[in-house]
Amino acid sequence: MTQPSNKPAGSQPQESQSLNDYQPIRCSFHDVLEANATLSKKVEIVYREEDGKHGQIKAIIKDIFNQNKAEYLKLHNGQTIRLDQLISVDGVALKA
C-alpha cells in the first residue's frame, strides 16, 4: 500500500475513467460513510489511486461533498477521495 497525498485520489481524469463518468455509490454504503463521519471515528479506508494501485489510510471522515458532478470524502488531513474510487471503509466493501 502506498502513502496518501493531499492530492485528491481518483479525482483526475484517467484514460478509462473521466470525471463525467462518475459512478454513484449504493445508498447503504453512503449511510456507512455518513455514520462514520458523524461519529468522527478513525476508520481504515482502502481506495483506488490514479495509477490503479490500492491506497490505504486510517483517517477521520470530516465531510462528504459534491463537486463537478461527483461525490468526495474529505478527511481530517485535508485529503479528498472520490467515492467511486473507494474499495472499503472499516472492512465494509463498496461493491458487495
35-54 pLDDT per residue, tens: 999 999 999 999 999 898 99
Instruction: Give residue 50's pLDDT.
Output: 87
**Is 1 inside a domain boundary?**
no
Per-residue confidence of the chain (96 residues) as pLDDT tens digits?
444 444 545 444 333 345 458 999 999 999 999 999 999 999 999 999 989 899 999 999 999 999 999 999 999 999 999 999 999 999 999 885
Residue 69 to residue 21: CA distance in whole angstroms = 9
79 found inside a domain: yes
Kindly state whether residue 54 falls inside one of the protein's structural domains. yes
Q: Are 51 and 7 in contact (CB under 8 A)?
A: no
Judge contact between 78 and 71, C-beta under 8 A. Answer: no
Question: What are the beta bridge partners of residue 45?
Answer: 57, 89
Domain count, the chain: 1
Provide the pLDDT for residue 36. 95
Is 62 a domain residue? yes
The answer to whether the CB of 76 falls within 8 A of the CB of 59 is: yes
Q: Can you give the CATH number for the domain in which 30 is found? A: 2.30.30
Q: For residue 61, what pLDDT is reported?
A: 98
Instruction: Report if residue 3 sits inside a domain.
Output: no
Task: Examine residue 51 and state whether it is found in any structural domain, yes or no.
Answer: yes
Q: Does 6 map to a domain?
A: no
Structural domain range at position 82: 22-93
